[in-house]
Amino acid sequence: MTLRYQAVGWNPQKTRYDRALALGVLGYVALFVGVTATLHPTATAETMILRSVGTAAFLLLHVILAIGPLCRLDRRFLPLLSNRRHLGVTMFLLAAVHGGLAILQFHGFGDANPFVSVFTANTRYDSLAQFPFQPLGFVALVILFLMAATSHDFWLANLTAPVWKALHMLVYVAYALLVLHVALGAMQSDTGPWIPTLTGLGAAAILGLHLAAAAKERRADVPVDGGAEEFVDVCAVDDIPERRAHVAVLAGERVAVFRWDGKVAAVSNACQHQNGPLGEGRILDDGCITCPWHGYQYRPDCGRSPEPFTEKVPTFRTAVRDGRVLVDPRPLPAGTAVEPARIGGADDDATAPEHVAPAGPLGRDPDDGPFHVLYLPEDPPPLRRVTRRAALATVAVAWLVGLTLASAQRPFAPASFDFGVMRIFNGRLEEDPVPSLVMSTPRGDGPPHRLLLTSPFKWGAAAEIAGRDGEIVTLHGSLAWRDGRMLLEIAPGSIRSGSPDDGDGTGAPEPVGAPPMAGTTAVVPLGEHTLRGEIVDSKCFLGVMNPGDLKVHRACAVRCIRGGIPPVLVVRDRRGVASTLLLVGSDGRLVNDDVLSMIAEPLEITGSVERHDDLLVLRADPETYRRLPDGSRP
């Protein structure tokens, strides 16, 4: 307790509990990642990890929030409650991996501080459908961090119980933020009907359990009105089982009236540790009231914890007359010694007062079932059975949910990125309208192929190729591709003038591509068109991230496009096949900074379409882009 802040030592039941937790979580993540990798081989590893740990954390949060009311409804669940701290810390670690990876992936390596970017990349706070859902997750993660960091009893003692309790009640704020995080973000664009359905069911279950537990408490809390009387008749002596308590509500406060060894004494029902219900505790062989939540102890005759611990709770004067228990509803200062009332015929308390307020109905059933003590090596067998069944059922349901969510994900695009694989390319650099490498097609027929160029991470390649327009070069890079369109991430500093000599005998690998034949570049006007689509950053969309479009990708696309990566309009035909058009202004200038607020939204753009080699370009003034109503898919 307050003297030393050491964790309760490992014992068989704690070890079993933690093993079940580790198995449940690792199994869930492995199942989720395994199913996603099998069904969607083009999904990027970050996406699989992000989704598996995000959903695991959210599920675990539901389990944690359900345990409290479950224990109020059925005390046999109490062993789950006293071990809840490990669930909480595990949940935070999963959430931290999810949030940290999301910040790194979507906001890192770009032109802004990633933490600032979480709040500023998407600024559509005015739209429910486009609402920035990531800040909601961020604030929730900060709350979960504060809770995990202060979960040790050291902090409980130093912050004081009320502050600690208030801080930990913020879990409900975090939960509400996360429901919105999932509802406003992930579920609207990417994961089919299962996430919304399960999130709704989860929220309904948590709310339902809390309401049911509150109703049970309210039913049990029958206030006994003492009026002006000094003592109140709270129950019959026989209503209190040996070493247990009857809880009465006196002057608005719950009072636990214990009976043991022919005596009766009353203390406040609220444990000093975390407000646990002392009246649901027991008096153990050492003569101390033992809290059912984490085993803090108090002496019934003075409300003080046994030496060397220092907690104390308020006590109450008691008396016994004619087999009835009488309690003075005015609390004595915490830790005040009171002589217990004696039970039994002639021994009935001689100090019993004259005027006694009549008894109210008996509020709560005194609990007669087996009792869990946190630091004992084993719970009684009936409790062990309940804990085992609850753990097995929870793991089974969680794995089933993981399996369902993993298999129900929206199909991933046939897009890929040769991460870490460098190839040599040969072609002609073009700065205009965006950095590209122009290569002849393999057989030299048809228009030359334009490979969009970018620098690593979230940066365009304009600086890398500045002043080299029209130059024949070889360069190293990693390829991303989707539906026949390709993009090359250049290895910085790898551009060399000229083509490598064929058969130069150096054993160097053959470059991919060759410069186009002289005079083959052509800009072909294709007329005025009105197109409906979504703006994405070309790099992620063409395969560097998968998925690289829709709302989940919006923040990352903002960083990429601000960093100079060409924005493209994705237009889908009736079958859903995507084509991309590079966006430039009506005067041919780059429009990166003008489109930032419209990324990932349904848009209609009217402008003139041109073909530069095999690259489609849409010329239009961004001021004329028209937002389509939220929710309409282009």
* Partner in contact with 571, chosen from ligand HEM, ligand FES, none, beta carbon below 5 to 8 Å by kind: none
CA atoms within 13 A on the CB side of 22: 6
* Partner in contact with 260, chosen from ligand FES, ligand HEM, none, beta carbon below 5 to 8 Å by kind: none
Q: Which is nearer to ligand HEM, 155 or 194 (CB)?
A: 194
Q: Which is nearer to ligand HEM, 61 or 224 (CB)?
A: 61
* Partner in contact with 425, chosen from ligand HEM, ligand FES, none, beta carbon below 5 to 8 Å by kind: none
Q: Which residues are near ligand FES by CB under 6 A?
A: 271, 273-274, 276, 291, 293-296
Count of residues binding ligand HEM (CB under 6 A)?
30
**DSSP code at position 278:** G
Helices first, then strands: H and E counts in the chain: 15, 26
Distance of CA 323 to the CA centre of its chain: 55
* Partner in contact with 118, chosen from ligand FES, ligand HEM, none, beta carbon below 5 to 8 Å by kind: ligand HEM
* Partner in contact with 295, chosen from ligand FES, ligand HEM, none, beta carbon below 5 to 8 Å by kind: ligand FES
Q: Which is nearer to ligand HEM, 91 or 326 (CB)?
A: 91
Instruction: Give the Cβ contact number of residue 114 at 10 Å.
Output: 18
3-state helix, strand, coil in the chain (%, to 5): 40, 20, 40
Single out the residue of 1, 33, 140, 487 in contact with ligand HEM (rule: CB under 6 A): 140
Dist. CA 539–CA 502, nearest whole Å: 31
What is the token pair recorded at 417? Answer: 């990125």
Q: Which residue is nearest to ligand HEM (CB)?
A: 137
* Partner in contact with 294, chosen from ligand FES, ligand HEM, none, beta carbon below 5 to 8 Å by kind: ligand FES
Q: Which is nearer to ligand FES, 92 or 296 (CB)?
A: 296
What is the token pair recorded at 414? Answer: 């046939």
Stretch that binds ligand HEM, among 165-173, 177-185, 349-357, 384-392 (CB under 6 A): 177-185
Residues 6+ apart with CB under 8 A from 245: 256, 257, 258, 259, 278, 279, 280, 281, 289, 366
One-letter amino acid of 285? D
* Partner in contact with 190, chosen from ligand HEM, ligand FES, none, beta carbon below 5 to 8 Å by kind: ligand HEM
* Partner in contact with 271, chosen from ligand HEM, ligand FES, none, beta carbon below 5 to 8 Å by kind: ligand FES
Q: Which is nearer to ligand HEM, 362 or 408 (CB)?
A: 408
DSSP secondary structure of 548-590: -SHHHHHHHHHHHHHTTPPEEEEEE-TT--EEEEEEE-TTS-B
* Partner in contact with 417, chosen from ligand HEM, ligand FES, none, beta carbon below 5 to 8 Å by kind: none
Say if residue 262 is exposed, middle or buried (CB neighbours under 10 Å; 0-12, 13-18, 19+). Answer: middle
Q: Which is nearer to ligand FES, 271 or 320 (CB)?
A: 271
Q: Which is nearer to ligand HEM, 17 or 106 (CB)?
A: 106
Q: Which is nearer to ligand HEM, 28 or 231 (CB)?
A: 28
Does position 138 interact with ligand HEM (CB under 6 A)? The reply is: yes
Instruction: Give the Cβ contact number of residue 313 at 10 Å.
Output: 22
The H-or-E segment that residue 290 falls in is strand 289-290
Single out the residue of 134, 188, 272, 455 in contact with ligand HEM (rule: CB under 6 A): 134
Dist. CA 232–CA 234, nearest whole Å: 6
CA atoms within 13 A on the CB side of 579: 14
Single out the residue of 68, 110, 137, 448 in contact with ligand HEM (rule: CB under 6 A): 137
Contact characters 516-555, ligand HEM, x per CB under 6 A: ------------------------------------x---
User: Does a cis peptide bond (omega within 30 degrees of 0) precede residue 380?
Assistant: no
In this structure, are residues 268 and 331 in contact, taking their beta carbons and an 8 Å threshold?
A: yes
Dist. CA 162–CA 167, nearest whole Å: 9
Q: Which residue is nearest to ligand FES (CB)?
A: 276
* Shortest distance, position 365 Cβ to ligand HEM, whole Å: 37
Does position 118 interact with ligand HEM (CB under 6 A)? The reply is: yes
Q: Which of residues 144-173 bind ligand HEM (CB under 6 A)?
A: 144
In this structure, are residues 262 and 50 in contact, taking their beta carbons and an 8 Å threshold?
A: no
Dist. CA 481–CA 413, nearest whole Å: 11
Stretch that binds ligand HEM, among 188-196, 430-438, 496-504, 626-634 (CB under 6 A): 188-196
Q: Which is nearer to ligand HEM, 53 or 248 (CB)?
A: 53
Q: Which is nearer to ligand HEM, 60 or 313 (CB)?
A: 60
Q: List the end-to-end C-alpha distance of the chain, in Å, as a whole number.
A: 62
* Shortest distance, position 277 Cβ to ligand FES, whole Å: 8
Long-range (24+ apart) CB contacts under 8 A made by 159-165 are 161/272, 161/273, 161/274, 161/275, 164/274, 165/274, 165/275
Q: Which of residues 49-108 bind ligand HEM (CB under 6 A)?
A: 50-51, 54-55, 57-58, 61, 95, 98-99, 102-103, 106
What is the token pair recorded at 249? Answer: 């509500």
| Torsion sign across C-alpha atoms 30, 31, 33, 35 | positive
* Shortest distance, position 213 Cβ to ligand HEM, whole Å: 23
* Partner in contact with 54, chosen from ligand FES, ligand HEM, none, beta carbon below 5 to 8 Å by kind: ligand HEM
- Where on the chain is the footprint of ligand HEM (CB under 6 A)? 47, 50-51, 54-55, 57-58, 61, 95, 98-99, 102-103, 106, 118, 134, 137-138, 140-141, 144, 178, 181-182, 185-186, 190-191, 195, 552
